[in-house]
Amino acid sequence: MNEVTHILSAMEQGDPHAAEQLLPLVYDELRKLAAQKMAQEAPGHTLQATGLVHEAYLRLVDVEQVRQWNSRGHFFAAAAEAMRRILIDHAREKLALKRGGDWQRVPLAEVDPPAGTPPEDLLALNEALEQLTHLDPTAGQLVKLRYFAGLSVEQAAATLNLATATAYRHWTFARAWLHSQVGGTPPDSAG
């Protein structure tokens, strides 16, 4: 059992010092993940990658609500999901009517994630992704890992314990389904 998995197990058993030991081991990977997410955000975003890492980490190791982690991969998948939720919350907050919101749906074809994802597009994608996850949880998780965590189909398949061919089938379905719901080109249509 690697050191991260061992510390995650200690956290489950209530070791109050385990969370302190975990951060130095996972910080660099979480920072890379956060930087990748922030690169997809519109320029001038008020949330920095470091802040995103810290918020996500605090949600993951909440001492009042102990979580069970099956593996290191499970922890990082949860970290990607926590970062996604933080960015969604931030986008919703930014677009609240009291802050001058009044957003409209934008076709997914107009989204260019590497150059920046405007909050409106992120919310439209999130709404469609919530529906997809309800319809097909595996496809929904695969999209989250591909789009929000930046994993390849092969890496996402390993994280979800799927055969690569099965992951590609889910990815093809998810892209087509999102395309039909939001319109335009699905996220990362290159494969």
pLDDT attached to residue 110: 53
- Pick from 81, 26, 28: which is nearest to 56 by CA? 81
Measure the CA–CA gap between 120 and 132, rounded to whole angstroms.
18
pLDDT of 18 > 60? The answer is yes
Percent pLDDT > 90 in the chain is 10
Q: Which residues contact 42 (CB under 8 A, 6 or more apart)?
A: 116, 117, 118, 119
**CA distances, 41 to each of 38, 58, 59, 159 (Å):** 5, 22, 21, 25
Closest CA to 123 of 83, 166, 182: 182
Give the model's pLDDT for residue 103: 46
Could you identify the residue written with the tokens 């922890």?
75
Mean pLDDT value across the chain: 76
Q: What pLDDT is stored for residue 112 in this prediction?
A: 47
- Considering just the CA atoms, what is the radius of gyration of the chain in Å? 17
Residue type, 148: F
Q: What is the pLDDT of residue 179?
A: 83
The per-residue pLDDT for range 108-129, each reduced to its tens digit, is 555 444 445 666 777 777 888 8
Map residue 169 onto helix, strand or coil: helix
Query: 26: pLDDT confidence band, cut at 50, 70 and 90?
Result: confident
How crowded is residue 176: how many other Cβ atoms within 10 Å of its Cβ?
11
pLDDT of residue 165: 92
Residue 138 banded pLDDT, cuts 50, 70, 90: very high
The per-residue pLDDT for range 145-176, each reduced to its tens digit, is 887 777 888 888 888 888 999 999 999 999 88
Q: What is the mean pLDDT of residues 32-45?
A: 75
User: What is the per-residue pLDDT across 66-102, written as a single tens digit (0 to 9) for each?
Assistant: 667 677 777 788 888 888 888 888 877 776 655 545 5
DSSP type of residue 132: H
**Span 28-47, average pLDDT:** 76
Contact call for residues 81 and 39 (beta carbons, < 8 A): no
Q: Can you tell me the mean pLDDT for 20-36?
A: 80
Rounded Cα gap, residues 102 and 92, in angstroms = 11
Tell me what pLDDT residue 186 has.
45
* Per-residue pLDDT, 190: 45
Nearest to 31 by CA among 97, 76, 66, 71: 76
